[in-house]
Amino acid sequence: MERSKERRNPVATPGKKEIHRFEVGDLVEVYCDHNRDGERVRDWLQGVVVQADYKMVAVQFLEDVYLTDGWMVPDRVLWCQQGSDVIRPATKRRRRTSSRKKKKKS
Amino acid sequence: MTTRRVIRKKPQIADRAAAFPFNEGDVREVSLALQEPAWLLERRMQAWDLFEKTPMPTLQDEPWRRTDIRRMPSDQVALKPARPDPLPRELVAPLASEEHGALVVLSPGHPAQFQVPEAMAAQGVVVADWGRAASQHGELLRKYLHSVVSPAEGKFAALAGALADHGAFIYVPAGVELTEAVHIVLWAPGGGAAFFSRLLVVVEEGASATVVYEAASPTDEAAETVHAGIVELFMAPAAQLRFVELQNWGRHVWNFTHERGRLERDAKLDWIFGAVGSRLTKNFTEITLAGQGAEGRMSGFYFADGVQHLDHDTQQNHLAPDTTSDLMFKGALKDRSRSVWQGMIYVAPGAQKTDGYQANRNLILSKGARADSIPGLEILADDVRCTHGATVSQLEEEPIFYLMTRGLSRELAERLVIDGFFAPVMDRIPFSGVRERFAAMIDRKLVS
């Protein structure tokens, strides 16, 4: 049974808006510099939460990601603050790779 | 050719602040308005006598060497009610428990507001404002008032002792364990005023309680205000008290307080302290471990900006053997603000097996800010362990750079490092509501 992620971890504090707390394994989108069709763009990119605590979230990407000054992040891991505007739950499921599709058919 | 000589003169400042415009008649009026018994008026008059005999502190007095109050407009303040501004909702939000055990809102010159659950009153717990305490619980008040903080301790203690017209009295009878917090808010908006407050908390033998005390006001641009207060915490043998104190005065307030917790045998005090407000604060805070096996812990946090001046004078008095004290104060300073922390651990003769610790760490965020940190030990016993430490540092570039390599902006990276600086104090706070409140205070300071 899949629980609704929106309802899973909302934390309310007096006078504050509800923030979504991410956990390890969550599929997310991060607003960051990356490549699309050979061009550097700043847009939402899908990744997976690989580390999370009450304050921070680390997200692993499959594609190269960059700092705003142009440097590539070698291990493709970016950090965000929990509740930051640059991270949100993924709106689409990740596309399965062709090898995994074949495996399932067999 | 004539030469022009420009002579700049510094404005003349007197060697001490001007005298307050109060007199003995004001003391009598305050007592009369509260319909106090004769013995309480007598105590006020004793305090007034001490106030008159004590000179205004100057830079030549050791505890005041780093805190200059000569510009305090003490002659321009008056005894008047607080402006009736609406109370912000966040001040009455529960901080130390899901729900309030009891809520008291004090505002000078206005009737106190109460929410005391019947179950609490049925256990014999007293939660009262000053007038009610004097009229309904006179014997208890007489027994404990001035038993922890004497008006003889300083000019402002005497002034508050004589003129305090709003305050709260909390009494927890022996063996009663309060699971929910008693929340007291002192809300005092208004400029050109002099406010005097006092709080007396008594936790009897084997009882336990949590008390949250917050003093706050919005900044008044028109005129400055003076507040003097006394906080007395008395813990009988084996009593336990968690005391959360937040100082959030407006930038127009000159704030002076004398606060002490007195612990008898095996009593425990966990004192959590946060200070972000006021124009100038001079705060004397003491933990007196008077009974064997008593344990006192104090976790303090302050953040100053603009031209704020926050001076905390702490003292850990070990008067009995096997006592433990643990104090940690952390502060950050922005702009041209200044902090002073003077700490002292005193171990009396015969107080063997004492364990005392004090630490003060400061983070300077602007070139013009300054922190003075002066730890001290006075040990008159030979089998003790006492340690202290004090640091003043700036934001390190390396952790900020490391965070920025993970895609965080410089602003956010600095914020995270500052959060990390305060984390050891936050980790000592057992209430998530208080931690969130402190975090919000830091946020506001950083964006201001």
Shortest CA gap B419–chain A (Å): 10
Closest CA to B328 of B303, B356, B308: B356
What pLDDT is recorded for position B209?
A: 96
What pLDDT is recorded for position A5?
A: 38
Whether A8 shows a pLDDT value over 80: the answer reads no
Task: Locate the chain B residue with the closest alpha carbon to A66.
Answer: B407
Neighbours of B351 (CB within 10 A): 23
What is the spatial distance between Cα B389 and Cα B11, in angstroms, rounded to a whole number?
A: 39
- Chain A residues with CB under 8 Å of a chain B CB are 13-16, 32, 55-56, 58, 65, 67, 71, 73, 77-81
What is the spatial distance between Cα B102 and Cα B87, in angstroms, rounded to a whole number?
A: 17
Per the CB < 8 Å rule, is B416 touching A55?
yes
What pLDDT is recorded for position A6?
A: 38
Shortest CA gap A105–chain B (Å): 39
Complex ipTM, two decimals?
0.72
Q: How far is CA B10 from CA B7, B13, B258, in A?
A: 10, 9, 34
Tell whether B416 lies on the interface with A, counting CB pairs under 8 A.
yes
What is the spatial distance between Cα B442 and Cα B448, in angstroms, rounded to a whole number?
A: 10
Selected residue with higher pLDDT from A39 and A95: A39
Options 3.90.550, 2.50.20, 2.60.120, 2.30.30; which CATH number does A5-93 get? 2.30.30
Cα B412 to chain centroid distance, Å, stands at 31
Distance separating the N- and C-terminal Cα atoms of chain B = 51
Q: How far is CA B322 from CA B204, B309, B377, in A?
A: 21, 36, 17
B42: which residues sit within 8 A by CB, 6+ positions away?
A: none
Cα B61 to chain centroid distance, Å, stands at 21
Closest CA to B186 of B284, B251, B103: B103
Domain boundaries along the sequence of chain A:
5-93
Per the CB < 8 Å rule, is B89 touching A32?
no
Shortest CA gap B409–chain A (Å): 9
- pLDDT tier, B432 (very low <50, low <70, confident <90, very high otherwise): confident
B427: which residues sit within 8 A by CB, 6+ positions away?
A: none
What pLDDT is recorded for position B192?
A: 94
Whether B363 shows a pLDDT value over 90: the answer reads yes
Whether A7 shows a pLDDT value over 60: the answer reads no
Instruction: Give the mean pLDDT of B23-51.
Output: 95
Whether B88 shows a pLDDT value over 80: the answer reads yes
List of E strands, B3-152: 102-107, 110-115, 126-129
Q: What percent of chain B has pLDDT over 90?
A: 82
Contacts of A15 in chain B (CB under 8 A): 89-90, 93, 440
Tell whether B9 lies on the interface with A, counting CB pairs under 8 A.
no
What is the spatial distance between Cα B227 and Cα B244, in angstroms, rounded to a whole number?
A: 19
What pLDDT is recorded for position B1?
A: 64
pLDDT in tens, B322-346: 999 999 999 999 999 999 999 999 9
- pLDDT tier, A3 (very low <50, low <70, confident <90, very high otherwise): very low
- pLDDT tier, B210 (very low <50, low <70, confident <90, very high otherwise): very high
Contacts of A14 in chain B (CB under 8 A): 89-90, 93, 433, 436
Verdict on whether the full-model pTM lies above 0.90: no
Q: Which residue has the tokens 């940690």?
A: B328
With left for phi above 0 and alpha for psi between -120 and 50, is residue B322 left, alpha or beta? left
Query: Of the ranges A6-10, A67-71, B257-261, which one carries the lowest mean pLDDT score?
Result: A6-10
Whether B421 shows a pLDDT value over 60: the answer reads yes
Contacts of A79 in chain B (CB under 8 A): 403, 406-408
Shortest CA gap B429–chain A (Å): 16
Per the CB < 8 Å rule, is B90 touching A80?
no
> What are the backbone angles phi and psi of residue B260, rounded to the nearest 5°?
-150, 145
Contacts of A55 in chain B (CB under 8 A): 416, 419
Between chain A and chain B, how many beta carbons pairs sit less than 8 Å apart? Answer: 36
Strands B126-129 and B166-172: antiparallel
Instruction: Give the mean pLDDT of B167-173.
Output: 96
What is the spatial distance between Cα A104 and Cα B17, in angstroms, rounded to a whole number?
A: 85
pLDDT in tens, B5-31: 887 777 777 888 889 999 999 999 999
With left for phi above 0 and alpha for psi between -120 and 50, is residue B124 left, alpha or beta? left
Q: Report the residue from B93, B407, B416 with minimal CB separation from A14.
A: B93
pLDDT in tens, B102-158: 999 999 999 999 888 999 999 999 999 998 999 999 999 999 999 999 999 999 999
What is the spatial distance between Cα B113 and Cα B121, in angstroms, rounded to a whole number?
A: 16
B245: which residues sit within 8 A by CB, 6+ positions away?
A: B212, B213, B214, B231, B259, B271, B272, B273, B274
Closest CA to B264 of B199, B204, B208: B204
Instruction: Give the mean pLDDT of B203-229.
Output: 95
Q: Is the CA virtual torsion B231, B205, B210, B125 positive or negative? A: negative
What is the spatial distance between Cα B334 and Cα B250, in angstroms, rounded to a whole number?
A: 17
Instruction: Give the mean pLDDT of B78-86.
Output: 93
Burial class (CB in 10 A: 0-12, 13-18, 19+), B382: exposed
Q: Encode burial over B261-279: b for 16+ CB neighbours within 10 A, e otherwise.
A: bbbbbbbbbbbbbbbbbbb
Q: Is the CA virtual torsion B412, B414, B420, B421 positive or negative? A: negative
What pLDDT is recorded for position A18?
A: 64
What pLDDT is recorded for position B429?
A: 84
Look over chain B and give the mean of its residue pLDDT values, rounded to a whole number. 93
What is the spatial distance between Cα B161 and Cα B69, in angstroms, rounded to a whole number?
A: 20
Whether A14 shows a pLDDT value over 50: the answer reads no
Tell whether B92 lies on the interface with A, counting CB pairs under 8 A.
no
Neighbours of B34 (CB within 10 A): 22
Whether A98 shows a pLDDT value over 60: the answer reads no
Closest CA to B308 of B448, B141, B156: B448
Per the CB < 8 Å rule, is A78 touching B407?
yes
What pLDDT is recorded for position A96?
A: 55
